[in-house]
Amino acid sequence: MTTPNPETHPRPAVAGPPTRHQLAVMIWLAVFPTLTVLNVALGDWLGALTPVLRTLVLSTIAVPIVMYGLMPQLHRLRSRLLARTASR
């Protein structure tokens, strides 16, 4: 078995972890729209709750959406964008 020649088969660039600033923007891009949609969708029901209970309900719904749904997508998007700019 032969090993591939790196000159004829270049490896795609792998993006490293995001910087603190990139991560902050990614989190904001995931959290703000999620909380906005939840507030609009559940606003009437949430309005009857105390602020602490309202925050508990929102965070219980929003955190899994952000962590398991949106952040992986944002990480993939960031990787594609970095790969695209590296290939130019």
- Residues 11-36 have pLDDT tens digits of 556 778 999 999 999 999 999 999 99
- The answer to whether residue 40 scores a pLDDT higher than 60 is yes
Residue with the bigger pLDDT between 23 and 1: it is 23
- The answer to whether residue 1 scores a pLDDT higher than 80 is no
49 located within any domain: yes
Which domain range does residue 46 map to? 20-86
Counting the structural domains of the chain, the total is: 1
Question: What are the residues whose beta carbons fall under 8 Å from the beta carbon of 39, sequence distance 6 or more?
Answer: 46, 58
pLDDT value of residue 16: 86
59 located within any domain: yes
Q: How many angstroms separate the Cα of 21 from the Cα of each of 24, 26, 52, 79, 81?
A: 5, 9, 29, 15, 16
pLDDT value of residue 13: 60
